[in-house]
C-alpha cells in the first residue's frame, strides 16, 4: 500500500500537536492519547481522531464491550484502554499468531480471521455480547463484508459498527475499484436502499442488517452504522389545522386538474 499512501504521510518535522489543534480545535483527550503515545506504535489518519470521540465517546468510563478487528502491535488496544477506562471489555482479533503475545495486556486478543463467522461468533460469545465493533483489519472488500454480515446481527441494539481505511474500496489489490461492484460504497448504497425498503418494491440486499440500521454515516474512509430497531415509519399531524388553507389547496388542485 505504501506507494499509494506516501503522498499523505505527515512530514517528519511536523508539529503534530499544533497541527491537530489547528485543524481539529474541538478534539478532546484523543489529542494527548495519540500525540503523547509512548507505547507500541500506532498509525492513524488525523481526521479519524475526532470521529472516534464523536462515535465512541458515549461509552467512556462504562463497561462497554468493544471488539477491534486488527491488533498489529497492540498500539490501538493500548489507546482504547486509556480512552474507555478500566471497566471496558476490550477484545482484539488478528490473523497473525504473533499477536497472541499481546493477550491480556490492554485487552484480550484472539487469533483467527475476520472472514470466519464461527470464529467471530465464538469471540463475541466470550465477550458476553458486543456494543462496538471497529474494523481495522485487512481492509479487503470480501473480509469487510464477511465481518459485517457475521457481527452486525450480534451487535447490541444501540451499538455502533465502524469500518475504517475504506479508501481501499477504490484499490484493486484490496478487491475494490472506482467502478467495481465490490467497492464497499456500493454496499453503503444497498444498505441505504434497504433502510428505505418501506418506500420501494426492490429486493432486500443485506438481510443480515435488515430492520436494524437506524443511521449510516459516511466520512472520508470511514463508515459508521448505528444499530437499533428500525420501527415502521409513522407520521402524525398535531395542532390546530387551518381549514381555509386546506380548502384553498383542494381548490388549487382541482383548478390544475381542470386546466389539463
Ligand X SMILES: C[S@@+](CC[C@H](N)C(=O)[O-])C[C@H]1O[C@@H](n2cnc3c(N)ncnc32)[C@H](O)[C@@H]1O
What CA–CA distance (Å, rounded) separates 46 from 223? 16
Residue among 138, 192, 103, 157 nearest 1 (CA): 138
What CA–CA distance (Å, rounded) separates 27 from 44? 15
Give residues 50-69 in contact with ligand X (rule: CB under 6 A): 68-69
What's the closest the beta carbon of residue 98 comes to ligand X, in angstroms?
9
**Cβ atoms 87, 258 nearer than 8 A:** no
What's the closest the beta carbon of residue 232 comes to ligand X, in angstroms?
37
Give residues 126-165 in contact with ligand X (rule: CB under 6 A): 136-138, 143
What's the closest the beta carbon of residue 82 comes to ligand X, in angstroms?
13
What's the closest the beta carbon of residue 96 comes to ligand X, in angstroms?
4
Judged by CB under 6 A, the residue of 113, 186, 205, 210 near ligand X is 113
Judged by CB under 6 A, the residue of 76, 108, 160, 183 near ligand X is 76
**Looking up cell 481501499, which residue turns up?**
168
Q: Can 200 be counted among the known catalytic residues?
A: no
Which DSSP state fits 205? S
Longest dimension (CA), the chain: 79
**Looking up cell 499477536, which residue turns up?**
99
For residue 23, give every residue at least 6 positions away whose Cβ sits within 8 Å of its Cβ, in sequence order, or none: 46
Written as nine digits, the cell of 165 is 481505511
Q: Given the complex with ligand X, which of 27 and 93 has the nearer CB atom?
A: 93
Judged by CB under 6 A, the residue of 39, 50, 75, 175 near ligand X is 75
Give residues 7-46 in contact with ligand X (rule: CB under 6 A): 42
Interface contacts to ligand X, rule CB under 6 A: 42, 68-72, 75-76, 93-96, 113-115, 136-138, 143
User: Which residues are tagged catalytic?
Assistant: 139
Amino acid at each position: 500500500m505504501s506507494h499509494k499512501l506516501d503522498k499523505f504521510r505527515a512530514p517528519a518535522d511536523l508539529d503534530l500537536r499544533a497541527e491537530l489543534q489547528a485543524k481539529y480545535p474541538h478534539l478532546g483527550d484523543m489529542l494527548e492519547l495519540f500525540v503523547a503515545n509512548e507505547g507500541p506504535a500506532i498509525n492513524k489518519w488525523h481526521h479519524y481522531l475526532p470521529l472516534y470521540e464523536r462515535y465512541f465517546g458515549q461509552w467512556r468510563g462504562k463497561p462497554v464491550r468493544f471488539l477491534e478487528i486488527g491488533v498489529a502491535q497492540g498500539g490501538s488496544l493500548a489507546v482504547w484502554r486509556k480512552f474507555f477506562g478500566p471497566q471496558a471489555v476490550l477484545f482484539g482479533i488478528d490473523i497473525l499468531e504473533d499477536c497472541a503475545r499481546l493477550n491480556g495486556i490492554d485487552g484480550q486478543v484472539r487469533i483467527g480471521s475476520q472472514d470466519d463467522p464461527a470464529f467471530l461468533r465464538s469471540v463475541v460469545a466470550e465477550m458476553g455480547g458486543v456494543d462496538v465493533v471497529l474494523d481495522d483489519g485487512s481492509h479487503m472488500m470480501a473480509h469487510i463484508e464477511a465481518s459485517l454480515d457475521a457481527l452486525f446481527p450480534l451487535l447490541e441494539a444501540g451499538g455502533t459498527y465502524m469500518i475504517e481505511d475504506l479508501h481501499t474500496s477504490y484499490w484493486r489489490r484490496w478487491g475494490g475499484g472506482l467502478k467495481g461492484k465490490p467497492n464497499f460504497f456500493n454496499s453503503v448504497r444497498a444498505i441505504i436502499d434497504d433502510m428505505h425498503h418501506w418506500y420501494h418494491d426492490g429486493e432486500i440486499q443485506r438481510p443480515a442488517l435488515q430492520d436494524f440500521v437506524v443511521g449510516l454515516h459516511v466520512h472520508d474512509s470511514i463508515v459508521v452504522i448505528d444499530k437499533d430497531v428500525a420501527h415502521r415509519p409513522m407520521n402524525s399531524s398535531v395542532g390546530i389545522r387551518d381549514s381555509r388553507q386546506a380548502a384553498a389547496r383542494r381548490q388549487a388542485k382541482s383548478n390544475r386538474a381542470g386546466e389539463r
